[in-house]
């Protein structure tokens, strides 16, 4: 009961950002991050996702990991909106280095420059990095 | 000799080091290494020399998994399947993996 009371006192919604910096299939980081994001949706917090460096590859259209006998998780990004997770920030410089454009991504995102990305990170209460 | 690189060109220096040692040998890009072969990406310029000589390959299933169409690849990069991988090792071995 007291725990619950403390939770209520803590009250205010916290800002959580999940920072994705790894390509999707070479390591398990991207899939694990997505699992944690989906879990976080159950806690009614202010959740956002950041994609920079090789993390932008996670959102590329047309991925088909079945060729590798692995879970094809990219379409799950489309479901995030159903969980009221609609703040997806993608770093413009990271896209440009990899020859990607926002039109080639699997979901609508907000493309932000590096300066804006660092400001967004600094605004968070909790940053979880994958 | 056949070299393979399985890391993204913008995450580690493995591709750079491999290319510095490639001399006249062959390079097969696998796993996250295939991102280097995307023509629009800035890393693809590093492959230009050996690709023009037909010495650079990319593994098809790894391209598919990552949503990279064959039309997005840099000039001269040849796509091989798993059987092609085996054939490259058989014809051009020994094999060195730049892990």
Q: What does the domain layout of chain A look like in residue ranges?
A: 13-129
What stretch of H or E contains B18? helix B14-20
First to last CA, chain A: 34
* Superfamily of segment(s) A13-129: DsrEFH-like (3.40.1260.10)
Better-predicted residue by pLDDT, A46 or A10: A46
Q: How many domains does chain B have?
A: 1
Residue B29's domain is classified under what CATH number? 3.40.1260.10
Please say if the pLDDT value at position A2 is more than 60: no
Confidence of residue A55 (pLDDT cuts 50, 70, 90): very high
Please say if the pLDDT value at position B34 is more than 80: yes
Structure tokens at B52: 């023009």
CB A75 within 8 A of CB B68: no
Chain A residues with beta carbon closer than 8 angstroms to that of B7? 26
Whether residues B6 and A99 touch (CB distance < 8 A) is answered with no
Structural domain for B71, as ranges: 2-98
CB B22 within 8 A of CB B15: no
Radius of gyration of chain B (CA): 12
Q: Is B15 helix (H, G, I), strand (E, B) or coil?
A: helix
Chain B residues with beta carbon closer than 8 angstroms to that of A57? 8, 35, 66
With 0-12 CB in 10 A as exposed, 13-18 as middle and 19+ as buried, what is B23?
exposed
With 0-12 CB in 10 A as exposed, 13-18 as middle and 19+ as buried, what is B12?
middle
Whether residues B66 and A63 touch (CB distance < 8 A) is answered with yes
Tally A–B CB contacts below 8 A: 67
CB B57 within 8 A of CB B30: no
Of residues A53, A70, A97, nearest to B41 (C-beta): A97
Give the residue carrying structure tokens 């994609």.
Answer: A51
What stretch of H or E contains A35? helix A29-40
Tens of pLDDT along A65-98? 998 999 899 999 999 999 999 999 999 999 999 9
Please say if the pLDDT value at position A3 is more than 60: no
Please say if the pLDDT value at position A1 is more than 60: no
Residues in A whose CB is inside 8 Å of some CB of B read 22-26, 53-54, 57, 60-68, 70, 74, 97-100
Better-predicted residue by pLDDT, A5 or A38: A38
CB A71 within 8 A of CB A65: yes
Chain A residues with beta carbon closer than 8 angstroms to that of B38? 98-99
Please say if the pLDDT value at position B2 is more than 60: yes
Tens of pLDDT along B35-89? 999 999 999 999 999 999 999 999 999 999 999 999 999 999 999 999 999 999 9
Please say if the pLDDT value at position A10 is more than 80: no
Chain A residues with beta carbon closer than 8 angstroms to that of B35? 23, 54, 57, 98
């Amino acid at each position: 009961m007291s725990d619950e009371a403390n939770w209520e006192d803590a009250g205010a919604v916290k800002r959580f950002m999940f920072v994705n910096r790894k390509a999707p299939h070479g390591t398990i980081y991207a899939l694990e991050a997505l699992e944690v994001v989906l879990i976080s949706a159950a806690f009614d917090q202010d959740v956002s996702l950041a994609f920079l460096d090789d993390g932008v590859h996670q959102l590329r259209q047309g991925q088909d990991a079945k060729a590798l006998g692995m879970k094809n998780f990219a379409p799950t990004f489309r479901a995030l909106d159903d969980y009221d997770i609609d703040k997806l920030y993608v770093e413009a410089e990271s896209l440009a280095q990899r020859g990607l454009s926002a039109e080639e991504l699997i979901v609508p995102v907000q493309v932000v420059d590096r300066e804006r990305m660092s400001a967004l990170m600094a605004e968070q209460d909790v940053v979880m990095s994958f | 000799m056949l070299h393979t690189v399985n890391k993204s060109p913008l995450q580690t220096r493995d591709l750079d080091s491999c290319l510095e040692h490639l001399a006249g040998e062959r390079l097969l890009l696998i796993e996250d290494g295939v991102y280097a072969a995307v023509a629009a990406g800035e890393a693809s310029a590093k492959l230009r020399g050996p690709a023009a000589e037909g010495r650079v390959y990319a593994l098809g299933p790894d391209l598919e998994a990552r949503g990279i169409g064959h039309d997005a690849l840099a000039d001269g990069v040849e796509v091989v399947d798993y059987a092609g991988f085996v054939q490259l090792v058989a014809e051009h071995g020994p094999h060195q993996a730049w892990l």
